[in-house]
Chains A and B, each alone.
Chain A
Amino acid sequence: MAKTVTVVIDRSDAGAQRRFEVPVGRRETVLDALFYIQNDLDPTLSFRCACRVGMCGSCGILVNGGERLACRTALEPLGPVVELAPLRYFPRVKDLVVDFSAFYSRYRAVAPYLKPRPAVVDPVVAPPGSGLREEIDLGLECISCGLCLSACDVVGQVPEFLGPAALNRAYNLVADVRDAADAERLEVVGDRRRGVWQCHSHMSCVEVCPKGLAPTRAIAHLRRKLVAQAFFGRRPRPVPSQQRFAEGAR
């Protein structure tokens, strides 16, 4: 345990200690370093975490300037000096803790919830290859950690931009045969100022996503959908086959 790393933390209190020497073992993460500092060096340090296995998306921070989940970032390979800072574009609560309103105001705008079609009363039958699920599958498992928003180069220039996560969710629902609200959702994501047109396809969101999702892909699909609908109009979705449950489920 002789090896140590210097961790430099961007603190909200300018007078607070910023540099810490942290011993490092082979399997420890940035989150472990934060716990060590808070437990034993400076109890006033604030950071956020919950599940510690990359499922909840609470511990996103900037590690050496890049968006990372603290719990899934091994400390040792980062080198002798590690700089930690809160996510960009999120209002700071304290130290590394940010307010997620920056994320949710955008997320909410796309109506991110299923509005079920009346015709879909039972779970849809979606065999592989039917196209009912493949597109959606690629965009599921977003943990709304906000890393993509912080990494998005457009958000800095155009603060109204809905951002990668919200657009990814929007596409999931637009591609979902169960959903009835694609018209209103497309109207939001097609907005000139906030919507998909603003994306520069830098793919910084793809680069940082801890779940390996590609919001750029969702955005590209939304653009094509908007273009296609502008020229060819809208085709009604056929009602898919549905799975009847064995026992009285409803």
Chain B
Amino acid sequence: MRHRVTVGSRVFTFHRITGLLILGYLYLHLALLSSVLLPQGPRDFNAVAQVVERPPFLAGDLLLFALLLYHAVNGLRLVLVDLGWFIRRRTIGLIGAGAVGLVVLGLMAGALWPFVVR
């Protein structure tokens, strides 16, 4: 049986995908910290920090943040739905969530800018 593809299901599928990616990143983050920190100490920590805070990595950071933001904003929207908001006005909920996400993403990009021009 063909499964139904709707706005709702697309939004939710992406929610789950971002969730999985973020979970993957958690392990990457822990692995990096433990592999650099435990055996090697502050010098290497700072060396690694030098590398991972260069612009290409910052772009990656921004992407990661976007995933996180999507998951967070949509998750918050779903919690609000459970509280009875945005059910009859789903479109408003979706547009609102999108707008909030974009604004926060813009703020984040602005906050990262000093790292680029450093």
Contacts and interface: CB of A to CB of B under 8 A. Distances in A.
Judged by CB atoms under 8 Å, the answer to whether A and B touch is yes
Interface of A: 65, 88-89, 150-151, 153, 156, 200-204, 206-207, 214, 216-217, 220-221, 223-224
A165 to B, nearest CB: 16
B2 A217 contact: no
Most buried by B among A65, A202, A220: A202
B1 A156 contact: yes
A202 B87 contact: no
6 contacts: A65-B4, A153-B6, A206-B88, A206-B90, A217-B88, A220-B81
Contacts of B5: 65
Contact of A223 (B1, B9, B82): B82
Interface in B78-105: 78, 81-84, 87-88, 90
Contacts of A153: 3-4, 6, 8-9, 12
Interface of B: 1-9, 11-12, 78, 81-84, 87-88, 90
Contacts of A206: 87-88, 90
Given A156-B4, A207-B6, A220 B84 contact: yes
B84 A217 contact: yes
B90 A221 contact: no
Central interface residue in B5, B8, B11, B78, by most chain A CB within 10 Å: B8
A89 B90 contact: no
Which are the 4 A-B pairs with shortest beta-carbon distances? A202-B8, A153-B9, A217-B87, A201-B81
A145 to B, nearest CB: 16
A201 B9 contact: no
Contact of A216 (B7, B11, B81): B81
A207 B4 CA distance: 12
Given A88-B1, A89-B1, A156-B3, A216 B87 contact: yes
Contacts of A224: 82-84
A191 B12 CA distance: 23
Nearest to A201: B81
B87 A207 contact: no
In this complex, the member of A65, A201, A214, A217 whose beta carbon has the largest number of chain B beta carbons within 10 angstroms is A201
A175 B81 CA distance: 19
A202 B15 CA distance: 11
Contacts of B78: 201
